[in-house]
Amino acid sequence: MRGAAEAIGRRGGGAVRAVVVGSGAGGATAARELAKLGAQVTVLEAGKEFRPFRRGLSWAGPLRSAGLLGSERTISRLFPPLRTLRPGRELVLIRGVTAGGSTTIACGNMVRAERGLKEIGLDLSPEFSELEQTLGARPVPAGRWRPLTRRMFEAAEGMGLGPEPTPKAVDMERCVSCGLCELGCAAGAKWDSRRFLGDVVAGGGTLRTESPVRRVIVEGGRARGVIAEGRGGAERVYADAVVLAAGGVGTPQILKASGLEAEDGLWVDVVLTMGGRSRGARQLEEPPMVWHARRGHYILSPYLDVLSHWFHEPWRDVSVQDRVGMMVKLADMPGGRVEADGTVRKSLTRTDRERLDEGAALARGIMEGAGVEGPFTEGMLNGGHLGGTVPLRREDVGAMRPGSLPEGLWVADLSLLPSSQGMPTMLVTAALAMRVARRIIGSG
């Protein structure tokens, strides 16, 4: 790898020119690492500059109660960085399309997600440790938990579920406990990948927003750059190394539009939130997911699902102050398909449904043990960790590049992971991207 990277640099007359497509946990980490290693980096982001949601939520109450907010698609009109799509009748998929990608609408969780890594011979422990130190990942102090959250933790302990506090990249001195991490952090307490993008730009790199990439330029069996849309129309951006980090949907879409391969192995980390009620719970007055319990193929975690609260009809009978949510985040079976035009098809298997039912029963048990009342109602099925469409195999791990890709083309997002995680995935995405960037330059 070192010889190949040095040859690229010599052809360019100096620094390796790298174009990174996407600016989330994968793209921003890869770009930052490449820049640190001396590459000339251009980051192309399809979305606009990110702005957190700063409106109060009280205006939505009457519209919600009357069912006038419409479907989940309304959220994109109110908050453009958050995009939703339906790959079938059951599921809603959520993506962050903005500078910072989905990190801007995530909960700041920094858990080591390692499902399936051992099977392909991939150990990301060094990258995990480095990122945890860089990001200052630590749990939310128990004194900041709501009383009901503590009771649910104790109930989970009593059920033998082994709950543990969730490490987060959140500055608790700045956190105002608004509970709306997924609409952006107006207080600037939560880490998102725009901080890494700032390092790239400060080091001489370029970030271009509103620049969706349509396809990869492949000439002579090698990736030579990309074709991106801009305000002036289509433009060719040439590079020695092309890094796709547009996510488990965006990356395979670009590959297929370029006449390249992507697999029909999409997984989405399905989320089902069991809803109950407890007067004065005020669950939004703490960060979401302050603890989690691992159970085989899923985790359980306290979580008030805002999408379900606003747009899921069975949840309309309970106010946000009294609503209680317990999340089941499932490692679903792969098998979804992404087309070149962006169409996505994904459905749940019988195994997925059985595991969700099992998790939902445990979630209800935890809430009942903490004094939460019914009716207990399932929330909207959704998924926001999208991967598995360009999976690494054991023989690919040394180079950190799927063998189906032409020379000069790399992937640095969850598309590389063959297995759904059923866990928070920002840390593993960044760790993958760090390893990929170091392989590109030949330092790892």
What would the mean pLDDT of 88-102 be, rounded to a whole number? Answer: 96
Host H or E run for residue 254:
helix 247-257
CATH label of the domain that carries residue 92: 3.30.410
- Report d(CA 47, CA 39) in Å as an integer: 24
Whether residues 271 and 259 share a domain: the answer is no
Strand partners of residue 230:
233
Amino acid (one-letter) located at 80? P
Q: Based on the number of CB atoms within 10 Å of its own CB, is 220 exposed (0-12), middle (13-18) or buried (19 or more)?
A: exposed
Cβ contact 228:212 at 8 Å: yes
Whether residues 286 and 176 share a domain: the answer is yes
Q: Has residue 91 got a pLDDT over 60?
A: yes
Q: Has residue 3 got a pLDDT over 90?
A: no
Q: Is residue 55 part of a domain?
A: no
Q: What tokens appear for 198 in the block?
A: 């700032």
Q: What tokens appear for 122 in the block?
A: 């991939």
Predicted pLDDT at 385:
97
Predicted pLDDT at 64:
66
The model's pLDDT over 274-288, given as tens digits with 9 standing for 90+, comes to 999 999 999 999 999
With the CA atoms of 276, 282, 288 and 292 taken in that order, what torsion angle do they form, in degrees rounded to the nearest 10? -50
Cβ contact 91:348 at 8 Å: yes
Predicted pLDDT at 110:
98
Q: Is residue 110 part of a domain?
A: no
Q: Which of 383, 406, 431 is the last residue of a domain?
A: 383
Amino acid (one-letter) located at 316? R
Parallel, antiparallel, or unpaired for β 138-139 and 409-411?
A: unpaired
Q: Which of 7-11, 112-116, 174-178 has the lowest mean pLDDT?
A: 7-11
Whether residues 344 and 396 share a domain: the answer is no
Q: Has residue 4 got a pLDDT over 50?
A: no
How far is C-alpha 365 from the geometric centre of its chain's CA atoms? 28
Q: Has residue 234 got a pLDDT over 60?
A: yes
Structural domain boundaries, residue 91: 66-96+138-185+266-383
CA distances from residue 266 to 27, 262, 291, 302 in whole angstroms, order as listed: 19, 10, 27, 26
Q: Is residue 88 part of a domain?
A: yes
Whether residues 379 and 399 share a domain: the answer is no
53 pLDDT band, cuts 50/70/90, is confident
Whether residues 177 and 195 share a domain: the answer is no
Predicted pLDDT at 442:
87
Whether residues 88 and 227 share a domain: the answer is no
Q: Which of 71-80, 164-173, 430-439 has the lowest mean pLDDT?
A: 71-80
Name residues whose C-beta falls within 8 Å of residue 350's C-beta, 6 or more positions apart in sequence. none
Whether residues 284 and 301 share a domain: the answer is yes
The model's pLDDT over 165-175, given as tens digits with 9 standing for 90+, comes to 999 999 999 99
The model's pLDDT over 357-395, given as tens digits with 9 standing for 90+, comes to 999 999 999 999 999 999 999 999 999 999 999 999 999
Q: Which of 50-59, 257-266, 273-282 has the lowest mean pLDDT?
A: 50-59
Peptide bond before 80: cis, by omega within 30 degrees of 0?
A: no
61 pLDDT band, cuts 50/70/90, is low
Phi, psi of 302 (to 5 degrees): -70, 130
Runs of H (alpha helix) within 98-190: 125-135, 147-158
Strand partners of residue 234:
229
Q: Is residue 75 part of a domain?
A: yes
Q: What angle do CA 237, 239, 245 make, to 5 degrees?
A: 85
- Report d(CA 20, CA 13) in Å as an integer: 20
Whether residues 310 and 345 share a domain: the answer is yes
Rounded mean pLDDT of the chain? 93
Percent of the chain at pLDDT > 70 equals: 93
What would the mean pLDDT of 122-142 be, rounded to a whole number? Answer: 98
Q: Which of 11-25, 34-48, 221-235, 352-366 has the lowest mean pLDDT?
A: 11-25
Q: Is residue 58 part of a domain?
A: no
- The count of other CB atoms within 10 Å of the CB of residue 89 is 7
Report helix, strand or coil for 124: coil
Predicted pLDDT at 1:
34
Name residues whose C-beta falls within 8 Å of residue 84's C-beta, 6 or more positions apart in sequence. 72, 73, 75, 76, 92, 93, 94, 95
Whether residues 157 and 84 share a domain: the answer is yes
Q: Has residue 224 got a pLDDT over 70?
A: yes
Q: What angle do CA 353, 246, 303 make, to 5 degrees?
A: 45
Q: Which of 4-8, 42-46, 434-438 has the lowest mean pLDDT?
A: 4-8
What would the mean pLDDT of 147-162 be, rounded to a whole number? Answer: 98
Whether residues 207 and 284 share a domain: the answer is no
- The count of other CB atoms within 10 Å of the CB of residue 165 is 15
The model's pLDDT over 392-416, given as tens digits with 9 standing for 90+, comes to 999 999 999 999 999 999 999 999 9
Q: Which of 336, 358, 383 is the last residue of a domain?
A: 383
Q: Has residue 114 got a pLDDT over 70?
A: yes
pTM, whole model, 2 decimals?
A: 0.94
What would the mean pLDDT of 122-131 be, rounded to a whole number? Answer: 98
Whether residues 208 and 239 share a domain: the answer is yes
Cβ contact 377:193 at 8 Å: no
Whether residues 158 and 275 share a domain: the answer is yes
- Report d(CA 248, CA 140) in Å as an integer: 30
Q: Is residue 106 part of a domain?
A: no
Number of domains in the chain: 2
What would the mean pLDDT of 101-125 be, rounded to a whole number? Answer: 97
What would the mean pLDDT of 133-156 be, rounded to a whole number? Answer: 97
Parallel, antiparallel, or unpaired for β 17-21 and 40-44?
A: parallel
Q: Is residue 127 part of a domain?
A: no
251 pLDDT band, cuts 50/70/90, is very high
Residue 272's nearest CA partner among 315, 242, 236 is 315
Predicted pLDDT at 67:
66
Q: Which of 383, 400, 425 is the last residue of a domain?
A: 383
CATH label of the domain that carries residue 233: 3.50.50.60
Q: Is residue 59 part of a domain?
A: no
